[in-house]
Amino acid sequence: MTPATYRVLLCDLRSDQLLDVVPVSGLSLDDYIGKAGSLQATIPLPNTALAARVRAALVPGRTAVWVERGREIWWGGVLWTASIQSSDRGYLSAQIQAGTWDTYLDHRLLYDTQEARKVDQFDIVRTLLDYVQGTPGGDIGITYGTELSGMPRDRVYSRYDLPTVRDLIDQLSRVQGGFEWRIASFREAQTGRRVKRLQLGAPTIRTGTSDIVLDRPGPVMSYTWPVDASGQANAWQSRGASDNDNQASESVPLLSDLLVDDAALAAGWPRLDGTSDYSTVIEKPTLDAHARADWNIARSPRTIPEITVHMGHAPLSPAMLGTTIRLRIRDLWWPNGLDERYRVVGIAITPPERGQSETAKLYLEAP
């Protein structure tokens, strides 16, 4: 079987104009639902001509990085760091690191107060994105649809807090009745244009219509199955903004209701306390909604199994984020066989190189 061909495209972040296509080694890339993805690679610089091309194209904070596999776009993001390295024999290379498009929102602050009353939470996200891309120099070409979640929200975002837009979207999503979001990268079939598109799903992002079956023994080469109670809690209280109105008294934070899982305690569990902070939340109903969402997660922490799959034996790609797979394992731990469905919430790709197989590590959660 012919190994898959990967290409790294360097483009201008704002216009998406192609600057160069460069050879790389040691390429690794990942993408997730719920957190930013990343890319690492090394660009060898064997001669003066290539060094000059790379010097012109690599501008951290201004250069976009796309990864093609064949003709498909498998990853896209912003170049944040580039490090030129010289070996003791004089060999030069550029080590690059990039983050998915959502990392750009970590670098954008809210300088103007925004207020929403009974507005669908998806529209609040799109309004924040419009704010980012409506400022001079802020449009990096992220597109979106018109889908709604059916969940109206009241939110006031103060310019005095100087929050990052990424934090505002994350906080909005992590509330009872919240949603998942990411910015997907793909090539538009009709035009061939590279696309950065906001993807929203309430309560979760789901893609695909049929399960992919993965077996061990079979395409599943290895797995890791963590069981972790270090973040578990059955009692919870969240803190909001401090009350600074009365300068004569001690400033105290807004507190949510204290939530306790009495059924877990009655079943024999020890009490495990937890808390979370929302320093910009000034309304108790909003804080209570955050607390309940955090408490629901902490009572039953998500187990995120990881499986490594041989790409030559399974039809996998980053587009399957949100897809449900059917995982079947039979070994010493599961002598009677595991046969369960899981949703893909993360994927890390290792391209073929120097005799190594092309593999994908999938991060899973129970659907």
> Could you tell me if 217 and 355 lie in one domain?
yes
How do the pLDDT tens digits run along the chain, 367 residues long? Answer: 566 789 999 999 999 999 999 999 999 999 999 999 999 999 999 999 999 999 999 999 999 999 999 989 999 999 999 999 998 888 999 999 999 999 999 999 999 999 999 999 999 999 999 999 999 999 999 999 999 999 999 999 999 999 999 999 999 999 989 999 999 999 998 999 999 999 999 999 999 877 889 999 999 999 999 888 888 999 999 999 887 655 556 778 999 999 999 999 999 999 999 999 998 888 899 999 999 999 998 998 777 899 999 998 888 999 999 999 999 999 999 999 999 999 999 999 999 987 788 999 999 997 6
Give me the number of domains the chain comprises.
4
- pLDDT value, residue 89: 87
d(CA 157, CA 112): 8
> Could you tell me if 142 and 34 lie in one domain?
no
- In this structure, which long-range contacts are made by residues 173-176, counting pairs with CB atoms below 8 Å and at least 24 apart in sequence? 173/121, 174/290, 174/293, 174/294, 175/286, 175/289, 175/290, 175/293, 176/289, 176/290, 176/292, 176/293, 176/296
- The answer to whether residue 207 sits within a structural domain is no
- pLDDT value, residue 304: 85
- The answer to whether residue 206 sits within a structural domain is no
- pLDDT value, residue 88: 87
**Whole-structure pTM value:** 0.89
Task: State both tokens at 74.
Answer: 């498998």
- pLDDT value, residue 326: 95
- The answer to whether residue 29 sits within a structural domain is yes
d(CA 293, CA 175): 5
Backbone angles phi, psi at 57, to 5 degrees: -90, -30
> Could you tell me if 51 and 123 lie in one domain?
no
- The answer to whether residue 32 sits within a structural domain is yes
> Could you tell me if 86 and 176 lie in one domain?
no
**CATH number, domain containing residue 183:** 3.55.50
Domain that holds residue 25: 6-100
**CATH number, domain containing residue 66:** 2.30.300.10
Question: Residue written as tokens 């578990």?
Answer: 232
Domain boundary pick from 73, 100, 127: 100
> Could you tell me if 78 and 190 lie in one domain?
no
- The answer to whether residue 1 sits within a structural domain is no
- pLDDT value, residue 209: 73
> Could you tell me if 216 and 310 lie in one domain?
yes
> Could you tell me if 217 and 356 lie in one domain?
yes
- pLDDT value, residue 315: 81
> Could you tell me if 271 and 173 lie in one domain?
no
> Could you tell me if 81 and 21 lie in one domain?
yes
> Could you tell me if 13 and 81 lie in one domain?
yes
Task: State both tokens at 44.
Answer: 């060898």
> Could you tell me if 79 and 114 lie in one domain?
no
- The answer to whether residue 11 sits within a structural domain is yes
- The answer to whether residue 263 sits within a structural domain is yes
**CATH number, domain containing residue 308:** 2.40.450
> Could you tell me if 251 and 285 lie in one domain?
yes
What is the chain's alpha carbon radius of gyration, rounded to the nearest angstrom? 23
Domain boundary pick from 100, 119, 140: 100
- pLDDT value, residue 248: 56
- The answer to whether residue 176 sits within a structural domain is yes
Domain boundary pick from 299, 319, 339: 299
